[in-house]
Amino acid sequence: MSLFLRDYLNVVWFGLAAMLLAGLLLGIAALIRPSRPSPEKLLTYESGVDPVGLGWSQSQVRYYVFALLFVIFDVEAVFIFPWAAAIERYGTFGLVTMLAFIVLLLDGLVYAWKRGLLRWV
Amino acid sequence: MMSIALEIPYWGQSLLRVLGGIGAVLLPAGTIVYLFLFKMMSFMQSRLGPMEAGPFGSMQLLAEVGKWLQKEDIIPENADAKIYKLAPVIVLVSTFLLVVVVPFGPDALFTNFSAGVFYALAIGSVSVIGILVAGWSSANKYSLLGGLRAAGQLIAYELPMVLAVVGVVIQAGSMNLQQIVVAQNSGSIFGWDGVGFPFVLTQFVGFLIFMIAVQAELTQVPFDMPIAESELVSGYMTEYSGFRFLIFFIGEFATAGVFAFIASVLFLGGWGIPFSWFGWESLDAVDGWMNIVGPVIMLTKMLVLTGIIMWVRFSYPRFREDQLQRFAWKVLIPLSLANIAVTAILKVAI
């Protein structure tokens, strides 16, 4: 197996180890903890009063525009990193191209800012 | 060191790595909780903190784990039980996956990804899934609000963090964390190589942005809107009790430790000491004893950085949700883009 795949196999082992650790600790806890459920205890917590309506209540997600902007900038980061790692190979040409790219995206941010999308609506 | 490693069969190496990983996750978590959360916070508030269990309360952590083990595990009737149980495990797994990339010495590393920076930043945002899942599956209004706030905040601060690291990648010319460590320790400042060339000197703005973003990613005060105990009870953790709550708690402080490890690798020179001190020419020339000293150096740097994180946590009042979003989008992101531009121009020009 190549070294590259072996590194990723390590990631799998670490994930399994974390699950095993959590399972082990929760298993020990399951052996020694008490279990005396009562209807009041299993009620949804709402500061001590009876819960009103469902827990999955409607609420306004005020920052969905931020989520869209996030995707754009995250994709930008994906493009910036490979260039950053090999910046000397691309020299001035790469620099000018990349700065144009960054300025365009910054322009988008400024546009969203001016449209008032970065406000708490 | 390499010759010993080759004699151990693959399963043995993997077992050693995993045990080392468990140590690298739990040791910082325990140290942070005892040293900073119990003792430093107490002294800053003119009290002694835990004193009963062991000398100066040093056995308090064991007592706490023992206590939480015996607590009843309450799952609310309305909650989505399966997912509700799974959420703390997701958070813990994401911490373990994150520590995989951190190099602790010339050979003392778990993996050697050539795009390690990428991996770290990608996995660093997995824990938000666990938090969002916890908030949703609890079927509690406080939890839901806390989970949504956490998602919005982690999205906003993910970007400055990613963009702040670009400056380091430009200077090191590599995305491999081991190469970044080598670049810092074999470098020199205007020909003087007494302290190597830690990137915090030139990337100070990047370091500052990175640490602020880490503070927000960890949802520590002043960025603790998702938990906000005075308005949301305990945010996404409201319904959790017993050991599941403790797993969230361990995950939070273990992640603080791992992020501090990554910050010290990127900006403070990582496990290395300046190579010129012992006349090492390259990574292969580094003596084997650095595999023992390296982790100790990393632990020291981690403690300094988490000390600063906790110091800020104990000192500042909480940001309001809109202030928090505004700060990320209107200050940190433009600033980190400017940092990239300046670093790139200087790198190409010089």
Residue B56 domain boundaries: 2-349
Task: Give buried/exposed letters for B253-278 (b at 16+ CB in 10 A, else e).
Answer: bbbbbbbbbbbbbbbbbbbbbbbbee
Residue A1 pLDDT: 64
- Top CATH class of A60-121 equals mainly alpha
Q: CA of A59, closest CA in chain B: separation in Å? A: 8
**pTM listed for this prediction:** 0.89
Q: What is the pLDDT of residues B256-270, one digit of tens each?
A: 999 999 999 999 888
Nearest chain B Cα distance for residue A112, angstroms: 11
Residues of A in contact with B118 (CB under 8 A): 81
- Top residue of B64, B118, B119, B159 to mutate, by most chain A CBs within 10 Å, is B159
In tens, the pLDDT along B164-207 reads 999 888 888 888 888 888 888 887 777 777 777 888 888 889 99
With contact defined as beta carbons under 8 Å apart, do B143 and B84 qualify? no
Nearest CB neighbour to B322, from listed A74, A113, A120: A120
Question: What is the distance in angstroms between the Cα of A74 and the nearest Cα belonging to chain B?
Answer: 7
Cβ of B69 within 8 Å of Cβ of A54? The answer is no
Residue A57 host element (H or E): none
Do the Cβ atoms of B197 and B188 come closer than 8 Å?
yes
Contact residues on chain B for A39, CB-CB shorter than 8 A: 77
Domain assignments of chain A as residue spans, ordered by start? 1-38, 60-121
Q: Are B266 and B180 in contact (CB under 8 A)?
A: yes
> What residues have CB less than 8 Å from B186, skipping those under 6 apart?
B193, B196, B275, B276, B280, B282
d(C-alpha A68, C-alpha A109), whole Å: 11
Residue B242 pLDDT > 70: yes
CB-CB neighbors (< 8 A) of B243 in chain A: 25-26, 29, 33
Q: How many domains does chain B have?
A: 1
> Does the distance separating the beta carbons of A21 and B76 come in below 8 Å?
no
**Considering Cα of B126, then B132, then B137, then B138, what sign does the dihedral take?**
positive
* ipTM associated with this complex: 0.85
Measure in Å the smallest separation between the Cα of A91 and chain B Cα atoms. Answer: 6
User: Residue B1: its pLDDT value, please?
Assistant: 42
Tell me if chain A has a CB within 8 Å of the CB of B239.
Answer: yes
Measured distance CA(B162)–CA(B262) in Å, rounded:
12
* Residue closest to B312 by CA, chosen among B178, B200, B182, B215: B215
